[in-house]
């Protein structure tokens, strides 16, 4: 087996580190509107799937979650630690990994073409909402309708705007990175 194919390139490691850093820096800035705040985490993950693709962005998100898990204040509201991951909003945090996989699968499969990529980002967001809402219902001991009103409906317009922004910039960044490859 060729060991060169098993190694990860310096460029790839650097891009994963940069996207993890961007997520760690931007995600803590949030607007508390209820039990789930508006943050820039989804925007950074949407951009990350364009920059890194499915698997590498999933790694980036996992590294982000591990950084937060050990207590570094990288989650919304400059919080961190295990309590945040197992608390009512923990399902959304863990859901970021699955959102990256679903959205990234579409971006990779269709090489960043706008319509299928946006569909992928939307589907990834639906997966995020589903995972987060189920976890919120369990943790907060609330019904689905109430959780949707608190944790999903208020976020739809902002997430659509983030998808548009990420797609506009992400496609250009992806083309530039592929051109330099």
Say which residue the tokens 């991951």 belong to. 85
Query: Which three-class secondary structure string do you get for 12-45?
Result: HHHHHHHHHHHHHHHCCCEECCCCCCEECHHHHH
Best CA proximity match to 28, nearest among 64, 54, 57: 64
| 35 vs 43: CA distance, rounded Å | 19
Could you report the per-residue pLDDT of 6-31, keeping only the tens digit for each?
678 898 999 999 999 999 999 999 99
CA distance 112 to 65: 26
Structural domains for the chain? 10-175 (1.10.1760.20)
- Could you list the pLDDT tens digit for every one of the 181 residues in the chain? 445 556 788 989 999 999 999 999 999 999 999 889 999 999 999 999 999 999 999 999 999 999 999 999 999 999 999 999 999 999 999 999 999 999 999 999 998 899 999 999 999 999 999 999 999 999 999 999 999 999 999 999 999 999 999 999 999 999 888 876 5
Q: Which alpha helices (H) appear in 40-113, and where do they start and end?
A: 41-52, 54-69, 82-86, 90-109
Instruction: Read off the pLDDT of residues 120-146 as tens digits, 9 standing for 90 and up.
Output: 999 999 999 999 999 999 999 999 999
> How far, CA to CA in Å, does 21 sit from each of 16, 109, 163?
8, 26, 20
CB 154 within 8 A of CB 33: yes
Is-above-0.85 flag for pTM? yes
The helices-and-strands tally (H runs, E runs) of the chain is: 9, 2
């Amino acid at each position: 087996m060729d060991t060169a194919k098993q190694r990860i390139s310096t460029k790839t490691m650097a891009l994963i580190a940069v996207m993890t850093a961007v997520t760690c820096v931007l995600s803590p800035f949030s607007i508390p509107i209820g039990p789930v705040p508006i943050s820039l985490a989804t925007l950074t993950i949407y951009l990350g799937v364009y920059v890194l693709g499915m698997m590498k962005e999933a790694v980036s998100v996992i590294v982000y979650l591990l950084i937060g898990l050990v207590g570094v204040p990288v989650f919304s509201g400059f919080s961190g630690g295990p309590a945040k991951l197992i608390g009512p909003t923990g399902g959304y945090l863990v859901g970021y990994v699955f959102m990256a996989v679903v959205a990234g699968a579409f971006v990779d499969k269709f090489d960043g073409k706008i319509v299928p990529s946006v569909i992928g980002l939307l589907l990834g967001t639906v997966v995020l909402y589903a995972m987060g809402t189920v976890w919120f219902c369990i943790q907060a001991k609330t019904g689905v309708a109430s959780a949707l009103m608190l944790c999903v409906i208020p976020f739809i317009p902002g997430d659509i705007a983030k998808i548009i922004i990420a797609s506009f910039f992400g496609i250009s960044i992806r083309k530039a990175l592929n051109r330099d490859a």
